[in-house]
A and B are shown apart, each in its own frame.
Chain A
């Protein structure tokens, strides 16, 4: 079973924490700090497994992690999981994020915590693996996005129109936070009259 999934950056700032067992908020923060401390002092090129810290259950649990650029992805698992299997799972998770965010970077995780949670939820549920097929996961996430868009409703219509137009003209839409800006302002329009 997976006990926790943690993502933090090279400075130990948490970017995602998902615990599949109940801890108090305080303990969760301590676990993140302890795990960061354990993982960050390790060289590159050493193995990707180590015994868990005391707070998370010591030697009965393993920390399996990968380090991508500025981020550490750490899974805390018990002995029923295959170590290499979990490494693959981390890879699938990251590849999926990469597809969903188009070259994912730390900022994407910061600004889209909810999306990251949703993607993770398509892979892991209650500490067990739900799905490992990336296409399947992306399909689910896509379906959710569509629903979200369609629900933007009447108020969202202009936004949809804008993004439709944009999409027509620019098949490869560049990263642009301002598009979000437009879609927020639209609902406020009626108050101008």
Chain B
């Protein structure tokens, strides 16, 4: 006999529902509903007391109306009144109404709480369950306040019925989630863990959700659950399915509970107790073995349940990441699923493999499935599965297969679903950058990306390619050639025009030698796209044109003609008009030298985390800075530049540009106007960093500091070298004074012209360090070397480094280079010898927490004793023997001499050869010194 007899229906309700279903239009439906609402309202308000049946009928009608999406703003009071009825039917319908319709802020909560309190103490299990359900469903803070202490008591009381225990466990979990501060741990916690042993599987099922949540928040307090969970799991996995009777689902014993047990174990590291661990490994092996057995039923439910456990077991194996044997088995199992005919299994296998790919034991094993995954990307019918395949390709990508994977992802992009294109584009861009061995491949990839999916290429992506091309001179010629070719296409994406305009404007000269891409051809090509582009792109192209005038004087007349035509100089867009006017004037008035300075090549961009990566992270989760900030500031920049008659002289224009305070996203380096009008330090703030989301870049960020760290422990050597220039350093220090000799060598056979060097102390360094020097000769002949002497005085302790900016003209092109000078605080060390006793006495004196700085880090270089000693001596401190009780350790002492004060420093370095790790501890009488030394030294060993 069916549990719910079909004859029990309420006629009034049935009629109403049929009426609604017969409504021909939305209006008719609303009319009918309003009529019914009025009816119910009058019934509720009426004098005649309603019997339970009517109340139930009306509440059911209200629920139905609510389900259709209509607001219900009455009936709550009636529902609350039903709670205090002692008839089950009425109580139940009251609770139902409340759990569906009452929100957690309702003022009725107080009344509801009273009713709940009565039911909880009624000792009637059915009523108690109803009340617990209500708390769990509403879960408001008021309820937590009222019942958080009561429910644990019900949960662990010996005489509580099983069904009530189940409800109490989940009710407590809900309260713990909404108001963890109100659920106090106590005597009950240890007893809750033992519910894992309960005879009633339903109780275990409910309790395990509670225990998992509690374990995640307080792992130590619930540690004992690990062994209990393992033994429970083992009993389920090993027993014949008949033992578990009702909890056997399509021949699989307790699948849900098994999954939950495996999940619980994922909150903890592998068990330390050998016996427990052995038992668990046995379970996992049994689960893996069962996957290979023939199915006990052909029903999909059977394989579903079996595989649900299998996937959780695999997650646990991946989580432990310590049993290579199991990991490889897991990987093979997933490999089988990759080709399974069930789409669900393919989906889950791809998803699990993603996590497996990050384990060092299985990364290689995952990589063997690359062909299958690529095939999935190409042939899967289901977009969810294709997306997982793309995720997995991204996860399994490394240097060895990057080219293949990027190529596959690119070709997939041509047909990819619109919903995932943007993410795919970001992924391709990141992989291309991360694993680029030669940058011409990178440039090709990104240009392809723009060609294939231009609409989905966000600003970050094309900014990034430009940044990389500017920073790497070995790829500039290739980039210019490639964009030139890409622009030949009759229809190319606007993003392509932007990249093309920018790169040709900067590096068009590198391909101008070929008559097929002569300056005029380049210009005509760009200009043929001009009229199809949006205003920002046109603005960018105008800037490219003025750069052309500088690079190729022969194009001057043509370009001036273009700038002069009405559509530019009288353009209704203020930005375009202004650029046209200013560029026209600039090109006709300024001398070649001025023009060359104003329009010099862009300086390298600061290295930092790829903003594309940041964007992907942001797409995946909230909490990142909004890109709109950049958009806003761009707009602001445009307004500040716009309007107003301005004097035609270049100085005025340069001044107006320098005073633009916003990080205008104008890609043209207006920064170069600075030397005309303002000091170099203020020019830095104008450096247009297309990646900055927050504001102007500090000048020091734009700096090459490759060589810097190599000089922490030595004073002489080569600081910088590229194809053109070599810079060598010799330095000596005494007390708080130092002298540094810089040697600039011209490696080419061509003269460097206008060679200038500037040393600057950014920010507060100005008041901490005094650096003086004389200007150098402006000409460096081919193969010659010139020398410059710096006199350095340390006024007080410092953390930043002075910057050396070098500018010169090589051939036609201006070279611009900024380096960090390796003047570090440790250069001013005076070594101090002391005995073991003295050392430890001082060590103890410097015991304030901020005086100590400590770092634990992996060894980057050989851990050879002699090498270490040489480095520590090079640091400038005294290396003390026989001080540390452990002869493996090194201790050093020294005093840093500054003009204003002396800072005593003690250092201890503890190598751990086995782990290839160091622990470095510094204690100094000044906390900023401890921190700075620690930072510097942590990268030396």
Contact = CB atoms under 8 A, between A and B. Distances in A.
Residue in A43, A112, A131 whose Cβ sees the most chain B Cβ within 10 Å: A131
Given A22-B103, A126-B171, A148-B88, A131 B7 contact: no
A131 B206 contact: yes
B11 A181 contact: yes
Interface string B337-348: 000000110111
Contact of A141 (B4, B13, B52, B259): B4
B305 interface: yes
A173 B5 contact: yes
B104 A22 contact: yes
A130 B162 CA distance: 11
A2 to B, nearest CB: 11
Residue in B5, B17, B52, B347 whose Cβ sees the most chain A Cβ within 10 Å: B5
Nearest to B88: A147
Contacts of A22: 103-104
B560 interface: no
Interface residues of A, number: 84
Given A88-B301, A88-B308, A144-B126, A125 B3 contact: no
A12 to B, nearest CB: 11
A51 interface: yes
B167 interface: yes
B6 A151 contact: no
Contacts of A87: 304, 308, 344
A59 B621 CA distance: 9
A140 B4 CA distance: 12
B724 to A, nearest CB: 49
Contact of A184 (B11, B52, B100): B11
Interface in B742-798: none
A180 B71 contact: no
Interface string B596-635: 0000000000000000000000001100000000000000
Contact of A84 (B8, B67, B174, B344): B344
Nearest to B305: A88
In terms of DSSP, what is the predominant structure of the interface of chain B? helix
Interface string B653-681: 00000000000000000000000000000
B9 A111 contact: yes
A141 B163 CA distance: 12
A131 B166 contact: yes
B851 interface: no
Nearest to A143: B126
Nearest to B387: A51
A100 B136 contact: no
A88 B126 contact: no
Contact of A101 (B4, B139, B173): B4
A83 B9 contact: no
A133 B201 contact: yes
B620 A59 contact: yes
B344 A48 contact: yes
B781 to A, nearest CB: 62
Nearest to B104: A22
Nearest to A178: B7
A113 interface: yes
Residue in A14, A108, A134, A148 whose Cβ sees the most chain B Cβ within 10 Å: A148
Interface string A70-91: 0000000000101111011101
A133 B304 CA distance: 16
Contacts of B51: 155, 187
B69 interface: yes
A176 B205 contact: no
Contact of B255 (A85, A130, A180): A85
Interface stretch (B89-97, B234-242, B269-277, B838-846): B89-97
A140 B247 contact: no
B3 A135 contact: no
B830 to A, nearest CB: 57
Contacts of A115: 4
27 contacts: A1-B177, A15-B67, A16-B67, A47-B385, A51-B384, A82-B308, A99-B2, A101-B6, A102-B6, A110-B17, A113-B60, A113-B63, A114-B63, A125-B136, A126-B137, A126-B171, A129-B256, A130-B166, A131-B205, A133-B201, A144-B88, A144-B92, A145-B3, A145-B4, A177-B9, A180-B8, A181-B11
Given A43-B381, A101-B6, A126-B174, 19 more contacts: A47-B344, A83-B308, A84-B304, A91-B304, A110-B21, A113-B63, A114-B63, A125-B170, A126-B137, A128-B206, A129-B256, A132-B257, A134-B246, A136-B202, A151-B87, A151-B89, A155-B51, A177-B6, A183-B8
Q: What 3 A-B pairs have minimum CB-CB distances, sorted nearest first?
A: A179-B7, A126-B136, A84-B308
